[in-house]
A and B are shown apart, each in its own frame.
Chain A
Amino acid sequence: MAEKRESDERFKKFGTVSFTSLTKTNAFIDHLENGKVTGTRCKGCGRVFFPPRADCFQCLAGNMEWFEVTGSGRLVSFSKLEYGPAGFQDDVPYSIALLDYGAYKIFGRIAPDLPDADIAVGMPMKTIVNRLPNGQLNYVFTNP
């Protein structure tokens, strides 16, 4: 009888509902567990990637190192959802947003405790790890 192979499905922990289980960027989840949001940098050409990726199309190589997202970015835009897609109805309302860090941008959610009136395009925000009520992990944007 064939031995059952263990598969590394760490990425199933990302977000309210994860649609990906197998990826070469699984270490991202370990970093979230340790309170860090991380991207990748190509050791060959120095190109920086967020979201992190395993492969550099410029060097046609997979020689990456991790870097931690630190400091603050500028809020490019956001939208508050009053209606959720299947699997997300329990999270409503929530706001999705984009932060610009200059060398890269980050797509995510705004921290749920931030009042709507305090959110404006152009404001500085930082990215922090967040544990969801269902035990899953993601990251959110909040005041620096």
Chain B
Amino acid sequence: MPRVAIIGVGQSEFVRAYPGSVRELAFEGFKDAMRDAGLTTRDIGASVVCSAPEYDKQRSPAGVFAEYLGLNPQPTFYVESLCSSSSMGLRLAYSLVRSGLHEVVAVIGFQKMSEISSAESQERMGRGADIQWESPFGTMMPAYYAMYARAHMAAYGTTLEDLALIRVKAATYGQLNDKAVYRKPVTLANLSNPEDRMAGPVASPLRVGDCCANADGSSCVIVASEEKAKAFCKKPVWILGLGAATTSVNLAGREVFTGLTAAREAARQAFAMAGVGPKEIHVAEVHDCFTIAEMMAYEDLGFAKPGEGKELIRSRATYKEGQIPVNVDGGLLSKGHPIGATGGSQIRTIVLQLREEAGPIQVKHPEIGLVHNIGGVGLYGNVSIFGR
């Protein structure tokens, strides 16, 4: 069976407010990945553009970007699954290449969130849930995840300090990432001092420091057939396993509140396809839109048993030198979370790790890496496993 590889990765710097248009923003990640792969636009057979709608005015961005990036007359596709859009784009690219329809596909994720106010973007994000039956109560992403945090605390004795430890780890590595929007150190004292901005209430029990920031950014992943990968690339990174799943949009339709069932199902599929288990993962990127999201990811991916995720962060097992390094690029908590670009940025980090080109955050000789990317409040789950 011919394999499918990633032969180029790129991303823009993630910033508070990008001083340009969405097509210009998309160009930044694309340019970075194309230079990385050493390709010209003629080598790209098709593009997949990934974002969540309603943050900017451009309808049907895929066609607009195809022209701006020099990808006419090749076909282009638009994929949306909220915050996991570019992982879903990778899944589409994989199937396009495996089917033989295209040999090289560029997956371009982007989001420009700064054109609207923070309250407006919370309203948009809240409408990534059930607009008929939940949004009229005034929902927003931090509050939904806060409900999972409270349920996790009630069931397992997880503490606010455990969650703060996750933010401290993120900041440890965010300081080393020149693409991250937040590069300052964060200490436990910041989150426990009521006078500190990091400890300010957002949606109980989550504080400012438990939440990632909105950002503008773009990412690009270039996917190729085995034949093209061997022709174009010295260090192809192979796609070993892909999982994708969904669950009820309304929390009323769910059974579990201490983890995300779509993540568990996506992980099961990805591990089965790759023929590996959680103990064989050497480095992982997980969707830490909130500190509790990383805690649940430890357990949903099988890095820890249910309720024991807190032991991983307390023992620093998810630091760079630990048994399972997680989010050593600073995660969404430090990098910022430009919705459609996030999955591609996570994939970029894992590809650089597997090529041993990750600089100061390089984990020692990783052979298998994992990306966990979630859309909405666990509405969409994507888990992807890569090997060198």
A residues near B (Cβ < 8 Å) are 11, 14-20, 23, 50-51, 76-89, 91, 94-98, 104-109, 121-122, 138
Contact = CB atoms under 8 A, between A and B. Distances in A.
Contacts of A88: 123, 138
B203 A94 contact: no
Contacts of A18: 136
16 contacts: A18-B136, A20-B131, A76-B147, A77-B148, A77-B151, A77-B257, A79-B150, A79-B203, A80-B203, A80-B204, A83-B122, A85-B140, A98-B252, A105-B253, A107-B133, A107-B134
A50 to B, nearest CB: 6
Contacts of B146: 79
A15 B136 contact: yes
Contact of B252 (A81, A87, A94, A104): A104
Contacts of A91: 138
Contacts of B201: 80, 82
Nearest to A14: B136
B257 A81 contact: no
A65 B126 CA distance: 30
A121 B252 contact: no
Contacts of B254: 105
B99 interface: no
Contacts of A83: 122, 140, 202-203
Contacts, number: 122
Given A85-B139, A96-B139, 6 more contacts: A76-B151, A77-B148, A77-B151, A79-B144, A85-B125, A86-B117
Contact of B147 (A15, A16, A79): A79
B250 interface: yes
Contacts of A17: 135-136, 138
B251 interface: yes
B247 to A, nearest CB: 13
Contacts of B127: 19
Query: What are the 6 A-B residue pairs with the smallest beta carbon separation, nearest first?
Result: A15-B136, A88-B138, A79-B146, A85-B123, A51-B133, A85-B122
A105 B123 contact: no
Interface in B137-177: 137-140, 142-144, 146-148, 150-151, 154
B324 to A, nearest CB: 28
Given A98-B251, A104-B252, A122-B154, A81 B140 contact: yes
Contact of A86 (B120, B139, B147): B120
A93 B48 CA distance: 41
Contacts of A23: 132
A140 to B, nearest CB: 9
A20 B151 CA distance: 30
Interface string B23-55: 000000000000000000000000000000000
Interface string B308-341: 0000000000000000000000000000000000
Given A19-B127, A76-B257, A107-B251, A138 B136 contact: yes
B135 A96 contact: no
Nearest to B205: A79
Contact of A105 (B117, B139, B251): B251
A107 B251 CA distance: 7
A22 B203 CA distance: 31
A86 B136 contact: no
Select the residue from B117, B123, B127 with max chain A CB neighbours within 10 A.
B123
B147 A87 contact: no
B202 A82 contact: yes
Contacts of A107: 130, 133-134, 137, 250-252
